[in-house]
Structure 1
Amino acid sequence: MPSDPQVVVTGASGFVAKHTIAEFLRGGHSVRGTLRSMTKAEDVRRAVSRLGADPAKLTFIVADLVNDVGWEEAVGGAKAVVHTASPFPMTQPENPDDIIKPARDGTLRVLKAAANAAVPRVVLTSSTVAIFYPSDRPKGHVYSEDDFTDETRADLTPYFKSKTIAEKAAWDFARSREAPELVVINPSFIQGPAADGDLSTSHELYRILAKGTYPAAPSISFPVTDVRDVAAAHVAGAFQPGVAGRRYLVGEGRLSLFDLGQILARELPDLRSKVPKFELPDFAVRAIAVFDRKLRTVLPELGEKKAYSNARAKAELGLSLRSADEAVSAAVRSLRDLRLI
């Protein structure tokens, strides 16, 4: 690796971004983070320090994904740009374009700025939701980086569509002109320790469970990954030779929503009475989702237990992935340490 590369991480106040910044800093790299405003700069510095990294080599610049102002300055001189910023709402919007447009246009804005600034490589944070929903895979298919979600499917949520459309737009851009090398990281449901009280949507789920909001859980399960492993994947993707033009599915194991509640109860026994007591049948979940918009996010997962392979990420990025149980346990304990649940 270069001894002191200048790395740009977009959306520096985000969950994945904070851990990724800390991972770069621990490796001795200098980092420039983008923010929509400087009001969160000190919060990010404190979070990075809490994660065990020295923020002395961390600087910030204002650049908003909804307009072009500041982006070429933001990425200028960088050896790599890591684009983590993308909306992930707890409640799905009524108008899909409210989430699809900023995800796609923001990704292209960053790529164009990187191309104009002659940045050698861009690492894009995508998701396994851009892999797991093609239209023509047989039952029992083992999903991998060779699969792409069909964003035209009527049963997909706006978030699933946004991640797929944004990633496909990035690959089209990378093939269409003189562009930076592109590496895509496709993490599954991201768990692991929170860095501060500015919680991700995945962590907000535990606050909902801890309030006893859902006495029963939808019968859904999903692959899980630890944010610390996601951060390591981004760092490897930024500088490791031989990975350009590749995408990497990062996930380990599988847990159900009911399982998450059980781990919450195991780690924090005082909340045992709050977690879901049983799983709802699918027809009941579909009926309730008509009125509860938060549940619409999980509808594509009902009845699905997809097999998948993380072999490429382990072999090519050298990742040693934490278990799903460890990732969730760390998330729960961090929220208690922060006095948030």
Structure 2
Amino acid sequence: MAQNIRERVLVTGISGFIGLHCAKELLNQGFEVRGSVRDMKKADEVLITLAAASVDTRHLTFVQLDLTSDEGWNDAAEGCDYIMHIASPFTIANPKTEAEMITPAVEGSLRALRAGENAGVKRVVLTSSIVAMMGSMKTGTFGPSDWTDSSSSAISTYTKSKTLAERAAWEFVENLPDSNTMEFVTVNPGGVFGPPLGTNITGQTMAIVDQMLNGKLPLVPNIAFPMVDVRDLAVLHVQAMITPKANGKRILAAGSAPSSFAEMAQILKDEGYKGPSTRIAPDFFLRFMSLFDREAKGMLGMLGMNLSADNAATRSLFGWTPRSVKQSIQDTAKAVSLIQNQ
């Protein structure tokens, strides 16, 4: 819990799927939250969404920030004890140019760190991803000490952007003057599922469940990787922020076992949903599709992937026990179905 004098946290990307859950967790634990949005019109939406989730928003304020602009960052961080930098572009589809995704990911992370340095914050928590660890591996187990080779031609633009952003952040922190005491932690989530706060299901993971439930994914890719529930992820973000021993760590936020799209579809079918299909798309079909479909192209590097995660350090450090994938997918589908039927 925060102390009687409320500590203030700058949360970038507060209107997103993960950002909203982190804001909820912080506010419920007694922190003051300053959330960043690209457009101040989003502020009202965030307030309404959190209030509907029975969150006390009296200690929530907003600032406008852009990952590709220096404007406002120092003012946003001023008076904050912590920064939780969650904002970053996320889409499975490869963009038309790499810079569209890589530039805001890398520059946004560095802007958050520079603002934190200038404001004298205690610690910055950066939301990275397991894709910055697992690289182009197809089988086996990866962990916090592993790094993706960003020069590999086998990885997607998203994977490259998360790897380069995290690398740049660690390099920045390593080069801080000895007199600077700002601490740094990364949280590296797996595939993030779980019920959204609010009614926005346009994000990548929510869109996948939405398409499954509506029968719009007649074939699923042959991919399996570790996943995490967004509610567990939000708790980990706060623990990574306040736990002394977390400083300097890469926190692997995912279950240990791989979960496939076919398994997800089967969970939904077992729950009585009629739309999901467990038919696996042949790899050659996705390779053909990738010639003219940027989303299919973004999946090529993951075809045939069946990876496990070594999350022993996360479990030990925080006493963490994640929800089961089955529970997470069931809760996600229930929430998405309710939104669809509104």
Superposed pair shares fold, TM > 0.5: yes
Report how far residue 241 of structure 1 moved.
0.9
SS in 1 for 2:322: coil
Give the equivalent residue in structure 1 for 2:42: 40
How many residue pairs align between the two structures? 335
Query: Which whole-Å deviations, capped at 9, do the CAs of 1:115-151 have from their partners, x for residues lacking one?
Result: 01111100000000000016xx7x8642110000001
- 1:88 is the counterpart of 2:90: yes
Report how far residue 337 of structure 1 moved.
2.0
Q: How does 1:131-280 map to 2 (within 5 A)?
A: 131-133=133-135, 141-178=140-177, 180-199=182-201, 200-252=203-255, 253-267=257-271, 269=272, 271-272=273-274, 274-280=275-281
Contiguous gaps of at least 5 residues in structure 2: none
Distance 1:206 1:94, change over 3 A: same
SS in 1 for 2:11: strand
Structure 1 residue corresponding to 2:58, chosen from 50, 56, 59: 56
The alignment's TM-score, normalised by the length of structure 2, stands at: 0.93
Question: Contact between 1:51 and 1:195, CA under 8 Å: does it hold in 2?
Answer: yes
1:284 corresponds to which letter in structure 2? F
RMSD: 1.7
Report how far residue 242 of structure 1 moved.
1.5
1:196 corresponds to which letter in structure 2? G
- 1:116 is the counterpart of 2:88: no
Report how far residue 340 of structure 1 moved.
6.0
Aligned partners of 2:176, 2:244: CA distance in 1, in Å? Answer: 21
- 1:331 is the counterpart of 2:317: no
Query: Which whole-Å deviations, capped at 9, do the CAs of 1:278-306 have from their partners, x for residues lacking one?
Result: 11222222122223222222222212211
Question: Contact between 1:265 and 1:275, CA under 8 Å: does it hold in 2?
Answer: yes
Q: Which runs of 4+ in 1 moved over 4 A?
A: none
Question: Contact between 1:25 and 1:57, CA under 8 Å: does it hold in 2?
Answer: yes
Give the equivalent residue in structure 2 for 1:289: 290
Aligned partners of 2:92, 2:211: CA distance in 1, in Å? Answer: 11
Please, which moves more after superposition, 11-20 or 284-293? 284-293
Structure 1 residue corresponding to 2:129, chosen from 127, 130, 139: 127
Contiguous gaps of at least 5 residues in structure 1: none
Please, which moves more after superposition, 296-305 or 151-160? 296-305
The alignment's TM-score, normalised by the length of structure 1, stands at: 0.93
Please, which moves more after superposition, 229-238 or 285-294? 285-294
Structure 1 residue corresponding to 2:17, chosen from 6, 15, 18: 15
Report how far residue 105 of structure 1 moved.
0.4
Question: Contact between 1:218 and 1:279, CA under 8 Å: does it hold in 2?
Answer: yes
What fraction of aligned residue pairs are identical, expressed as a percent?
34
SS in 1 for 2:125: strand
